[in-house]
Amino acid sequence: MIREYQLRMSPEQAATEANIKRYISQEKGLDVRTIKAIRILKRSIDARQRAIFVNLKVLCYVNEQPQDEPFVPVEYQDVHGKLRVVVVGAGPGGLFAALRLIELGCCPVVVERGKDVHERRKDIARISREHKVDAESNYAFGEGGAGAYSDGKLYTRSKKRGSVERILTIFCQHGADVSILADAHPHIGTDKLPAVIEAMRHTILEHGGEVHFQTRMDELIIRGDKVEGIRTHDGREFLGPVILATGHSARDVYRMLFSGGVELEAKGLAIGVRLEHPAMLIDQIQYHNRNGRGRFLPAAEYRMVTQVEGRGVYSFCMCPGGFVVPAASGPHQLVVNGMSPSSRGSRWSNSGMVVEVRPEDLEDPALKATHGELHGTSLSMLELQEQLEELCWQQGNMRQTAPSQRMVDFVRRRLSYDLPQTSYSPGVLSSPLHFWMPPFVTSRLAKAFEIFGRTSHGFLTNEATLLAIETRTSAPVRIVRTDDTLCHVRLQGLYPCGEGAGYAGGIVSAAIDGERCAEAVAAYLHT
């Protein structure tokens, strides 16, 4: 007999399968010896009050063992010799596009400028150790894209464009823990995600697809108004319709498209800092307990959002028990991001704290934007990103040392004479962020921090550190496509995809968009 139960229990009761069985036995009047297995379908934490509860939806197997699997795997067919589709970029958008193409009987040819997921780890380590950024292999470029070595969070609010459950299932099929199917905020972890990504590559290769690393697309092959393939940095040509999933940091791609007259538009960004607290403090605040999370709760998350002077100010990519990392993708850049291992066990918790900036804001003198040759064009927001990242690099002594300030000092506009310990491995230096960052951003951040401090007592503290600068929250450009065919508005055979195209914002939404683009290309090829 299989029974489904909705349970509400303490964190300790929900900590182990044996404890859950005992709870069900007591609450439902069952002999615990008859409960042969349980399967957790949904899990969430309710920390709104002092008493913390775990909400579970479970299947209870009474006097029988589970005969079904936690998920139904996707079946892939052999695509050797099938119609070829060029997929540019091996981030989540590109990888899920390639897998979906195989499902649909098309042969994906994946072209990635960076290295495979294990080789790029060496170049990432060099950023912290030597303050050297390899322009082709870094936190943004390489197999897995920016998500591989950022955080591995799989939570998205974008549920209308595709099946989140399907994306999570494919992750599980390639080695992710099945717990992500149940968790309200699923998370693989930056330590485990690389192996999952590698397994996806093996699936592509085993079924007839191709994957080419250290192969940078330099040019689209365009005849008339039709894209027929790409040309790479070493002169090779790959022919077929193109899914362009190059990520939000491939600025050379935006420039190539712009110079070629391809229709683009500037889009809004969010700009700010990475805010790092002691993890214990965030646990105390979120769990309403001076002892923190205790033995049975995970590192606490938070989400902050408010409006200041007509613009949204909010937390972004919150990494409980995580690390702040250097995320530049070229020389003369300094930009920070966050990541968490699967354990979420570090002494710190961090989040982006950012202010909404729109293209029309570039006319505001408080933005301190230099009007360069790209001002007023579709690349105007990209130019702003570059200006701020170079300015940050200069303030960091032209290294990857992050300009930093204590949180209260920032709000009160005073220099921090010393800084707390931080997870940021290249190092930090004290800097008056309120002085050199745009007032458009800093004034709104300061007011928002005061608001957050009132709603979450203890959040506004000098034990927290602001690290500059957070600019890579999303793409600064949208590569314009039609809503129905997902094809570029003019160029037949070009399918802008994922976060870099301006149509996604994270691993899951990019993966969903990759699948949608694959379906659109398959329909195009079979008409």
Q: How many CB atoms lie within 10 A of CB 483?
A: 5
**CB crowding 187-225: b at 16 or more within 10 Å, else e:** bbbbebbbebbbebbebbeebbbbbebbbbbeebbbeee
Asked if residue 174 lies in contact with residue 524, where contact means CB atoms within 8 angstroms, the answer is no
Q: Are strands 242-244 and 494-496 parallel, antiparallel or unpaired?
A: parallel
Q: Which residue in 380, 93, 137 sits closest to 245, CA to CA?
A: 93
Rounded CA separation 501/478 (Å): 5
Alpha-carbon distance of 120 to 142, in angstroms, equals: 6
CB-based contact 169:74 (threshold 8 Å):
yes
Closest CA to 304 of 269, 355, 339, 338: 355
Task: Provide the residue type at 414 as one letter.
Answer: R
User: In the chain, what are the domains?
Assistant: 2-62 (3.30.70), 84-265+480-525 (3.50.50.60), 269-470 (no CATH)
Q: What is the DSSP letter of 265?
A: E
- Per-residue model confidence (pLDDT) at position 9: 95
* DSSP secondary structure, 408-463, as one string: HHHHTT---SS----S-TT-EEE--HHHHS-HHHHHHHHHHHHHHHHHSTT-S-TT
- pLDDT of the chain along its 527 residues, tens only? 999 999 999 999 999 999 999 999 999 999 999 999 999 999 999 999 999 999 999 999 999 998 888 899 999 999 999 999 999 999 999 999 999 999 999 999 999 999 999 999 999 999 999 999 999 999 999 999 988 876 666 766 555 567 899 999 999 999 999 999 999 888 888 888 899 999 999 999 999 999 999 999 999 999 999 999 999 999 999 999 999 999 999 999 999 999 999 999 999 999 999 999 999 999 999 999 999 999 999 999 999 999 999 999 999 999 999 999 999 999 999 999 999 888 888 999 999 999 999 999 999 999 988 889 999 999 999 999 999 999 999 999 999 999 999 999 999 999 999 999 999 999 999 999 999 999 999 999 999 999 999 999 999 999 999 999 999 999 999 999 999 999 999 999 999 999 999 999 889 999 999 999 999 999 999 87
Residue 265: beta bridge partners?
478
Cα 296–Cα 301–Cα 307 angle in degrees, nearest 5? 155
Q: Is the CA virtual torsion 359, 362, 363, 367 positive or negative? A: positive
Tokens 């200041």 belong to 308
Amino acid letter, residue 390? E
Give the predicted TM-score (pTM) of the model: 0.95
